[in-house]
Amino acid sequence: MRRDLIADAAIDLVAEQGMRGLTHRAVDRRAGLPEGSTSAYFRTRKALVEGFVARLANQEQQDIAPDPDDVAGSIARTIDSWLVERNRTLARYAAMLEATHHPELKSIMAHSPREQATAIAKMLGHEDPERAGAHLTAFLEGLLFYRLVGAGSTVGPTPGTEESVRDLKAAVEKALRP
């Protein structure tokens, strides 16, 4: 589908050049489309940004599927897949920063992994799954950011992701015990 091709090209551009590199012409070139193609689908820069952010949100929703029998392992595999899909993750962080200035992006990005983190907290029997989901999301975003761009940055899956998530899960389960 051409809209997806354009959105994917925009994701790659933002990952490589930041939001300043996102122009209709640059997307046309990256996607290998005739000049003007991107603006035919996304008339304004705002529409283009919203389009690539919606594509990111859709892709991430498909990535997150916690396994009730292996919560830590499924979370770790998701984190590792996002490290492999480095461009998507870098573009997501750029979009998150852009959302601080453009509230309309916040609603598109509202899906975040927080919904799934809340579901995981419910699976684990937490008495306040919304709060636990917010904390789990903050931990996972921090771990992902650290592995992606921090001192522990890597290009792909790293040893220790599952161990980090298992340690967190153990701490949460310990806190839930009466």
Domain spans, the chain: 2-176
pLDDT value of position 172: 60
Per-residue HEC secondary structure of 123-175 comes to: HCCCCCHHHHHHHHHHHHHHHHHHHHHCCCCCCCCCCCHHHHHHHHHHHHHHH
- Residue 158 has a CB neighbour count (10 Å cut-off) of 16
Within the chain, residue ranges assigned H as helices are: 2-17, 24-31, 37-41, 45-63, 71-84, 86-99, 103-109, 114-123, 129-149, 161-176
Region for residue 31 given its phi and psi (left: phi exceeds 0; alpha: psi -120 to 50; beta: otherwise): alpha
Q: How many CB atoms lie within 10 A of CB 107?
A: 11
Q: What is the model's pLDDT at position 152?
A: 57
Of 74, 101, 98, nearest to 166 (Cα)?
Answer: 74
Instruction: Give me the architecture of the 2-176 domain, per CATH.
Output: Orthogonal Bundle (1.10)
Q: Model's pTM, two decimal places?
A: 0.78
Q: Which portions of the chain are predicted below pLDDT 50?
A: 178
- Confidence (pLDDT) at 115: 77
Round to whole Å and give the CA distance between 62 and 66. Answer: 11
